[in-house]
Every structure is written in structure tokens, then in C-alpha cells.
């Protein structure tokens, strides 16, 4: 593990470096407080630090305050090295943001034990962050398909429309529905239906750009938000999505199946005025209905880009 040692005395730095390297640490050296602060607030910085209290430019407590003020991602465990032993001094260091302190000269065994404590705390923090991210993922993604869930894709669409209106840019939406999905479930069983949902989800995600969003809108319906996609490009994008799904058969536990999607497509022009998410989706749904009425496995484009007059659509 990497550790920063900050001390303006070169002999003390080298002695501490030797002790730490013998205990398996990768040591980064800083000769003053400003250098230490820059190192600890840079990307991929050490997460353990031994900071001498008395240094020119910026002392140990000052480094602690700056690191706590400027760093808000992964935690840095800081121990101050000091010859001060008064209660007031210790309180000052801890209130500045230090996690621990060691009295100089520090005993190697004590140093090793204190740093192990710091590593345990960092490990606990990593596990908490991992658990938090896992909970966030479960709250925003569909459990079966791993796509964005309905609430998340709608929230993204709302934000994307607000951004497009502010920037006077465009976005397009595809509302996709798996053709005859009820029949797949009824004839081949729900495990086959689940396999189809999973494979279609992967094909949809692979058929669009990384900057686009794909979400499970509900049941066998999917919502694709194409940021920056203009009406002139929408037909081609929608056809790419359609053929990505229907191009090859999908293998399930029951048998290999031909699967297709019907798509309703529409463009929102940010400079054209106000329109709501609900209005946009209502028109996309109308286009999807037309695609199904036209024989399925096709794309239906809503007649024109979404314009202010659609404020009257209910």
C-alpha cells in the first residue's frame, strides 16, 4: 500500500522511509506541507499519510485542514508526527482533521500497529462504499435485464429534455416492444421469455452509442434515449436497433426463436418550446401502435419533430 511521508528534515524522511519499506509500504516523500497537500489531493494519491507537525509554508494541521476541505472522494487516513504532548496540542491536531498522532521519535512497533489501524479503517470505508454503490445500482437498474429501470430512464429523459431545451439541441426517443412476447411466454414458458428479455436488452445496448441510455420501460417494452440525435438521422438509428434484435435468432432453454421488435420513434427539438415527458411518450406510443398495425418488426416515425403546439396534447 502507498503511504505519504511529509517531513522537512531529510534525515527523518529517509529513516521513516526505510522503516516503512521494510514493512511492505510503497513510500511517497514530500519535503514540505504544500507538497504534501498537492500530493494528497491529486488523482490516485496515497490514502495513508504521516505528516510532520512542524513544517515551513504549511504545517501538519494546515495540511489536514486543506485535505479535508478539498478531498471529497475516497478517505485519506492522516497521522501527525509531533514532539508536542500537551492535551491542547493533541486536540488542535485532531480538530484539524488528523485521525491519529505519534510522538517523535516513534517506536517502529507502535508505528506498525497504528498504521494497521488506519488500514482497517480504510478497508471498512471501502466496504461501505461498495455496499452503497451496490444498493444504488439495485435501486436504479432492472434486476433481470440490468438495464436502467423505469423510474431511472424516465428521470434521465426528463433531465435530457431540460438540457436540450436549455442548449437548443435535440434528442430522439425509441419506444420498442417485443413482438408476440405473450405468445413466447405462453408457448415456451417464462424461463424462455426471461432469456429473450435478457438477450434483447443486450442487443439494444450494443446497437446504440455509449452516451445513449436504454431502459426497461415495462414488461416487454424498452425506452431508448438518443442524445443529440436529429430527426434526419433517427430513421437510420432506429433501423439499426431493429435489425440488431431481429438479425439472428435467440437461443432459449426451450428452443431457438425468431424475435423482433416494433419501434415508435420521435425527435424532440429543444429550440421549439416546452413539451413534457408525458407528451413525448404519448406520441412515441402512438408511433409504436402504428408500427404494430403495419405488421410489426418495423419502425414508425412520428410525423414531425415535437413542437410547441403539442402542449395541447393530453
Does residue 220 carry a catalytic annotation? yes
Residue 292, Cα to own-chain centre: how many angstroms? 35
Residues 162 and 129 in one domain: no
Reported as a single tens digit per residue, the pLDDT across 224-252 is 999 999 989 999 999 999 999 999 999 99
pLDDT-based confidence at residue 309 (cuts at 50, 70, 90)? very low
**What sign results for the dihedral spanned by CA atoms 160, 164, 167, 170?**
positive
In which band, very low, low, confident or very high, does the pLDDT at 24 lie, cut at 50, 70 and 90? very high
Is position 156 within any domain?
Answer: yes
- Backbone phi, then psi, for 27, in 5-degree steps? -100, 130
Do 48 and 163 reside in the same domain of the chain?
no
Domain boundary among 112, 138, 164: 138
Residues 265-297: tens digit of each pLDDT? 999 988 776 778 999 999 999 999 999 999 999
240 Cβ neighbours under 8 A, 6+ residues apart: 207, 208
Q: Is residue 156 domain-shared with residue 92, that is, in the same domain?
A: no
Q: Residue 288 belongs to a domain with what CATH number?
A: 3.30.70.270
CA distance 33 to 61: 9
State whether 132 and 155 are in the same domain: no
Judge if 181 and 131 occupy the same domain: no
Q: Which of 118, 138, 158 is the last residue of a domain?
A: 138
> Considering its fold, how many domains does the chain have in total?
2
Other residues' Cβ atoms within 10 Å of the Cβ of residue 293: 10
Residue 143 lies in a domain: no
Same domain, 49 and 6: yes
Q: Of the listed 39, 66, 199, 220, which one is catalytic?
A: 220
Q: Are residues 18 and 64 in the same domain?
A: yes
Q: Residue 145 falls within a domain, yes or no?
A: no
Give yes or no: residues 125 and 155 share one domain: no
CATH code, domain with 56: 3.40.50.2300
> Of 75, 110, 138, which marks where a domain is finished?
138
User: How far is residue 145's CA from residue 197's CA, in Å, rounded to a whole number?
Assistant: 7
Give the H/E segment covering residue 3.
Answer: strand 2-6
Task: Evaluate whether residue 93 is within a structural domain.
Answer: yes
CB 226 within 8 A of CB 268: no
Range of the domain at 271: 150-312
198: confidence class by pLDDT, cuts 50, 70, 90: very high
**Is 99 in the same domain as 184?**
no
**Helix 150-167 crosses helix 277-293 at what angle (to 10 degrees)?**
110
Mean pLDDT for 14-26 is: 92
Same structural domain, 173 and 287: yes
The alpha carbon torsion through 57, 61, 66, 71 (nearest 10 deg) reads: 140
Structural domain contains residue 144? no
305 falls in which pLDDT band (50, 70, 90)?
very low
Residue 117 near residue 77, CB atoms below 8 Å = no
* 31 part of a folded domain: yes
Helix (H, G, I), strand (E, B) or coil at 310: helix
Whether the Cβ atoms of residue 238 and residue 263 lie closer than 8 Å to each other: yes
Do 119 and 18 share a structural domain? yes
pLDDT digit string (tens) for 43-67? 889 999 999 998 988 999 999 999 9
d(CA 92, CA 244): 63
Q: Do 159 and 133 belong together in one domain?
A: no
Amino acid at each position: 500500500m502507498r503511504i505519504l511521508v511529509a517531513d522537512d528534515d531529510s534525515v527523518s524522511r529517509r529513516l521513516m522511509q526505510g522503516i516503512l519499506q521494510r514493512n511492505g509500504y510503497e513510500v511517497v516523500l514530500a519535503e514540505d506541507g504544500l507538497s504534501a497537500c498537492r500530493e494528497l489531493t491529486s488523482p490516485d494519491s496515497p490514502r495513508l499519510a504521516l505528516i510532520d507537525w512542524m513544517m515551513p509554508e504549511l504545517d501538519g494541521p494546515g495540511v489536514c485542514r486543506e485535505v479535508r476541505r478539498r478531498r471529497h472522494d475516497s478517505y485519506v487516513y492522516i497521522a501527525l508526527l509531533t514532539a508536542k504532548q500537551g492535551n491542547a496540542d493533541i486536540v488542535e491536531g485532531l480538530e484539524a482533521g488528523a485521525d491519529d498522532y505519534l510522538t517523535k521519535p516513534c517506536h517502529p512497533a507502535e508505528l506498525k500497529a497504528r498504521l494497521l489501524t488506519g488500514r482497517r479503517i480504510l478497508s471498512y470505508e471501502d466496504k461501505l462504499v461498495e455496499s452503497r454503490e451496490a444498493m444504488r445500482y439495485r435501486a436504479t437498474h432492472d434486476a433481470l435485464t440490468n438495464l436502467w429501470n423505469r423510474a431511472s430512464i424516465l428521470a434521465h429523459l426528463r433531465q435530457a429534455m431540460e438540457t436540450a431545451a436549455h442548449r437548443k439541441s435535440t434528442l430522439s426517443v425509441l419506444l420498442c416492444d417485443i413482438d408476440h412476447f405473450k405468445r413466447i411466454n405462453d408457448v415456451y414458458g417464462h424461463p424462455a421469455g426471461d432469456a429473450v428479455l435478457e438477450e434483447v436488452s443486450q442487443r439494444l445496448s450494443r446497437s446504440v452509442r455509449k452516451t445513449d441510455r436504454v431502459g426497461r420501460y415495462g414488461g416487454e417494452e424498452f425506452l431508448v434515449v438518443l442524445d443529440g440525435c436529429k430527426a434526419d438521422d433517427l430513421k437510420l438509428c432506429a433501423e439499426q436497433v431493429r435489425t440488431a434484435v431481429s438479425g439472428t435468432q435467440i437461443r432459449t432453454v426451450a428452443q431457438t426463436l425468431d424475435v423482433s421488435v416494433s419501434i415508435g420513434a420521435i425527435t424532440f427539438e429543444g429550440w421549439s418550446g416546452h413539451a413534457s415527458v408525458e407528451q413525448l411518450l404519448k406520441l412515441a406510443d402512438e408511433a409504436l401502435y402504428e408500427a404494430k398495425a403495419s405488421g410489426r418488426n418495423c419502425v414508425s416515425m412520428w410525423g414531425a419533430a415535437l413542437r410547441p403546439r403539442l402542449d395541447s396534447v393530453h
